[in-house]
């Protein structure tokens, strides 16, 4: 009797778990528009994920209920009482219940179907030795002009410089908002911030396709290793499409992250891999000094400082102190400012060493040559060139928007159209161009993107973009051509525009707004057109979002915990 009850309980659990898994799977498939985008592999993965999860949970609950039933019987027996005849009668009725009867019949077939689904996915990896691994490296807070390969006076980046010399360097790559969260979402979706809509309080809509989803649909194992777990947290949608997504802590060093990456690669190096690696070590610190590289790099460029600056004053240190300078528009002494810049450069040198270590890991595992490797950043950093520290200026000047972009092509792809060891590309490109370039190299279909592949630039077929844009969630924006750049800190509000001729004024000091230049009106019209196109694209991408909402998280509102707020205050993001 007891074994039959156990079998029947588990059989019903299988049925219930299967139904729940199907509901959740369909919900995700519809919410993410996998059918619309013909992402059939992701449809299968969705069924696998939710069927396995729901069946395991419900069957486990069934076992717990059965154990509870046995405990009750045991307690009754210890009390010297017999099991009531009515309870036996109920047990018999349960075993004869029609739903139980059909569950007993159906459950073996459901187990077999789920087993076949898992085995099919396990043995069909779709691996091809000619298809490259994809390794996208983002170094938080790294401005381009502090690297040797971009003309910097100090030897901050020998490993990155060597990498650039042997591969392809883009001299004019720009991000769209100088903030870790929306900038990385733009990088991974090929959408401007005003299109994807992600900010402190809003996460990514599931209908928007990510680079990880595109690559996972092509059979890649997708892994994300990121720092600063607040802005890069999965709750903002970063984990969408990743098989493994690990959000670290600000205090976690690049060396720690490399050890973690090595362990994962040792397990999965034979698979087709997409690695998204985000390092936080160059970013301003949260303890004492504004930038504080570990020994022996902590005095590499700053050892000659003779001043009194110790990292802050009156209880405000590091990033919080720099944020205080911004708020009160306090100008630093020149020697103190140079010292802080030297501290920043120390951090770049440390990060460069860790990039060299990562490359050695890849080489030792025979992954370096067969991989497409991209090094870039989410934004730059400012040192009062225009009055601000950190990357808080509401006007998007060059120092916070110009980032490195260095690309190594895979040697395993002999039919790749582009080539160029030691090639320098001077044309304008944007962070949103990274995703379409990767899928172009792989020959994959593009899904609802705003960026443009830079592959043709590698062959010299085209110049860079005529216009590039930045759109902040706070209303800041910019447009630039090779010569001209227009900025506004309040969307398209008149009276807030600035215009610069970058050929004669690369430091952006001489505002030419109101000087009667024809380019002024032209750039304003282009800005308005681009905003309208981006808003229309967002509506098109999300037009079917109300058909289904993912049950696991709310895509409208994201709230920060008190601990997260304190971390962001220490890093200067919140007051």
What pLDDT shows up at residue 243? 94
Q: Where are the domains of the chain?
A: 2-123, 133-464
Most confident of 3-7, 196-200, 378-382: 378-382
Asked if 196 and 164 count as a contact pair (C-beta separation under 8 A), the reply is no
pLDDT at 507: 97
Residue predicted with more confidence, 191 or 5:
191
- The sign of the torsion formed by the CA atoms of 318, 323, 326, 329 equals negative
Please state which CATH number belongs to domain 133-464.
3.40.720.10
pLDDT at position 14 is: 78
pLDDT at 462 over 80: no
* Bond prior to 296 in cis (omega within 30° of 0): yes
Q: How confident is the model at residue 2 (pLDDT cuts 50, 70, 90)?
A: low
* pLDDT given for residue 56 in this prediction: 86
The predicted pLDDT at position 470 comes to 97
pLDDT at residue 556, rounded to an integer: 57
What's the mean per-residue pLDDT of the chain?
87
d(CA 104, CA 12): 8
The whole-number pLDDT of residue 569 equals 74
What's the confidence (pLDDT) of residue 554?
41
pLDDT band of 568, cuts 50, 70, 90: confident
Give pLDDT tens digits for 414-442.
Answer: 445 555 578 999 999 999 999 999 999 99
Dist. CA 216–CA 140, nearest whole Å = 25
pLDDT at 98: 47
Within 13 Å and on the Cβ side, how many CA atoms surround 137?
A: 28
pLDDT bucket at 574, cuts 50 / 70 / 90: confident
Higher pLDDT, 218 or 83: 218
Structure tokens at 18: 């299967």
Percent of the chain with pLDDT over 70: 86
Residue 384 has a pLDDT of 98
pLDDT-based confidence at residue 404 (cuts at 50, 70, 90): very high
**Vertex 310 angle, CA 279 and 143, to 5°:** 30
Among 32-41, 60-69, 259-268, 276-285, whose mean pLDDT is lowest? 60-69
The predicted structure's pLDDT at residue 546: 46
SS3 content of the chain, % helix, strand, coil (to 5): 45, 15, 40
pLDDT band at residue 86 using 50, 70 and 90 as cut-offs: very low
Give the pLDDT band of residue 393 (cuts 50, 70, 90). very high
- The answer on pLDDT for 519 being more than 70 is yes
- As a whole number, mean pLDDT of residues 510-518 equals 97
Q: Which of 130-134, 277-281, 293-297, 396-400 has the lowest mean pLDDT?
A: 130-134
- pTM of structure: 0.87
Say how far apart CA 378 and CA 257 lie, in whole Å: 18
């Amino acid at each position: 009797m007891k074994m039959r009850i156990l079998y029947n309980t588990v059989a019903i659990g299988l049925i219930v778990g299967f139904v729940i898994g199907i509901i959740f799977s369909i919900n995700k498939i519809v919410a993410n528009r996998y059918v619309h985008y013909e992402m059939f592999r992701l449809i299968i993965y969705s069924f696998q994920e939710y069927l396995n999860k729901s069946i395991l949970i419900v069957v486990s609950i069934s076992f717990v209920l059965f154990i509870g039933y046995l405990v009750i019987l045991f307690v009754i027996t210890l009390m010297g009482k017999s099991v009531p005849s009515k309870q036996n009668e109920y047990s018999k009725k349960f075993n004869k219940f029609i739903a139980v009867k059909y569950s007993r019949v159906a459950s073996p077939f459901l187990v077999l179907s789920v087993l076949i689904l898992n085995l099919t996915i396990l043995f069909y990896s779709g691996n091809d030795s000619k298809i490259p691994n994809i390794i996208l490296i983002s170094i938080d807070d790294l401005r381009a002009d502090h690297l040797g390969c971009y003309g910097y006076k100090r030897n901050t980046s020998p490993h990155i410089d060597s990498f650039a010399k042997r591969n392809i360097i883009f001299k004019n790559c720009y991000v769209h908002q100088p903030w870790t969260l929306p900038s990385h979402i733009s990088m991974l979706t090929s959408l401007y911030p005003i299109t994807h809509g992600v900010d402190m309080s809003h996460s990514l809509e599931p209908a928007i396709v990510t680079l990880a989803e595109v690559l996972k649909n092509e059979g890649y194992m997708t892994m994300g290793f990121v720092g600063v777990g607040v802005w890069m947290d999965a709750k903002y949608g970063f984990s969408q499409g990743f098989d493994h997504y690990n959000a670290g802590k600000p205090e976690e060093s690049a060396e720690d992250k490399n050890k973690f990456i090595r362990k994962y690669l040792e397990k999965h190096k034979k698979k087709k891999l997409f690695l998204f690696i985000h390092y936080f070590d160059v970013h301003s610190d949260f303890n004492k000094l504004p930038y504080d590289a570990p020994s022996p790099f902590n005095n590499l460029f700053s050892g000659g400082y003779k001043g009194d600056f110790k990292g802050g004053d009156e209880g405000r240190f590091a990033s919080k102190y720099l944020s205080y300078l911004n708020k009160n528009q306090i100008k630093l002494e020149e020697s103190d400012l140079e010292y802080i810049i030297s501290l920043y450069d120390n951090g770049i040198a440390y990060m460069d060493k860790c990039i060299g270590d990562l490359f050695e890991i890849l080489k030792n595992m025979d992954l370096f040559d067969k991989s497409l490797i991209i090094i870039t950043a989410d934004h730059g950093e400012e040192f009062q060139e225009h009055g601000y520290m950190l990357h808080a200026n509401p006007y998007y000047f060059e120092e916070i928007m110009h980032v490195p972009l260095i690309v190594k092509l895979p040697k395993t792809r002999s039919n790749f159209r582009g080539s160029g060891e030691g090639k320098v590309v001077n044309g304008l490109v944007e962070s949103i161009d990274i995703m379409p370039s990767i899928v172009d190299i792989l020959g994959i279909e593009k899904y609802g993107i705003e960026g443009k592949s830079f592959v043709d630039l590698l062959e010299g077929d085209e110049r860079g973009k005529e216009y590039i844009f930045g759109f902040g969630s706070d209303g800041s924006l910019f447009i630039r051509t090779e010569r001209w750049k227009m900025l506004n800190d309040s969307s398209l509000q008149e009276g807030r525009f600035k215009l610069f001729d970058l050929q004669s004024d690369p430091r952006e000091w001489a505002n030419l707004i109101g000087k009667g230049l024809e380019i002024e009106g032209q750039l304003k019209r282009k800005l308005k057109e681009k905003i309208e196109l981006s808003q229309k694209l967002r509506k098109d991408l999300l037009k079917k979002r109300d058909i289904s909402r993912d049950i696991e998280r709310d895509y409208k509102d994201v709230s920060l915990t008190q601990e997260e707020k304190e971390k962001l205050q220490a890093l200067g993001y919140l007051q």
